[in-house]
Amino acid sequence: MGNITFTMIKPEAVASGNTGAIFSKIEEAGFRIVALKKIHLSAERAGEFYEVHKERPFYGELVDYMSESPIVAAILEKDNAVLDFRTLIGATNPEDALEGTIRKEFATSLAMNAIHGSDSDENANIEAEFHFSANERF
Ligand code: UDP
Ligand code: MG
């Protein structure tokens, strides 16, 4: 099991002032912040990040949403980081997210679901490298 995962607090959660509350939950759950920054993704960068979903019907909407205003990106460290973080954030659709999960508390819809979490160790490394250089990690 790998020990890092990658996350983004999504635009609507940043804009509504929930970044700090969400990071409190993340740190309380035992994740250590390795890297952290606030950035405004261009549509091109958002599209590249979500390239895997290019053929899905929601891709255009997802790219518009993720590039509409700033996000907060982070690399997080913990044993079994990828799976434990997916458990902490909850199901993609907040209607299916369990009580106590970040999406249950902060997501507003299936599209605007507050937070991203990597789905595999391989993608965690790819996504971390997409957003952070080696000298931004501590
Ligand atoms: N999404 C959407 N409609 C869908 C499925 C996904 O708008 O039917 C958005 C949602 O913001 C989700 C993102 O696309 O978080 C990526 O989808 P994925 O299936 O990878 O979900 P995740 O890994 O984020 O839970
Ligand atoms: Mg995913």
CA of 120 to the centre of ligand 2 (A): 9
Rounded Cα distance, 15 and 25, in Å:
18
Compute the average pLDDT of residues 32-47. 98
Pocket lined around ligand 1, Cβ cut-off 6 Å: 58, 62, 92, 110-111, 113, 116, 119
pLDDT band with cut points at 50, 70 and 90 for residue 61? very high
How many domains does the chain contain in total? Answer: 1
User: Domain of 59?
Assistant: 4-136
- Nearest atom in ligand 1 to the alpha carbon of residue 113 is 11
How many angstroms from the chain centroid is the CA of residue 1? 19
Q: What is the pLDDT of residue 7?
A: 99
Compute the average pLDDT of residues 57-64. 98
Rounded Cα distance, 104 and 96, in Å:
8
CATH of the domain at 127: 3.30.70.141
- Nearest atom in ligand 1 to the alpha carbon of residue 119 is 23
Over 90: is that where the pLDDT of 1 sits?
A: no
Q: What is the pLDDT of residue 2?
A: 81
Compute the average pLDDT of residues 79-95. 98
pLDDT band with cut points at 50, 70 and 90 for residue 114? very high
Q: What's this model's pTM, rounded to 2 decimal places?
A: 0.97
- Nearest protein Cα to ligand 1, atom 2: 111
What is the CB neighbour count within 10 angstroms for residue 88?
A: 23
- Residues 6 or more apart whose Cβ sits within 8 Å of residue 121: 1, 2, 82
Over 90: is that where the pLDDT of 91 sits?
A: yes
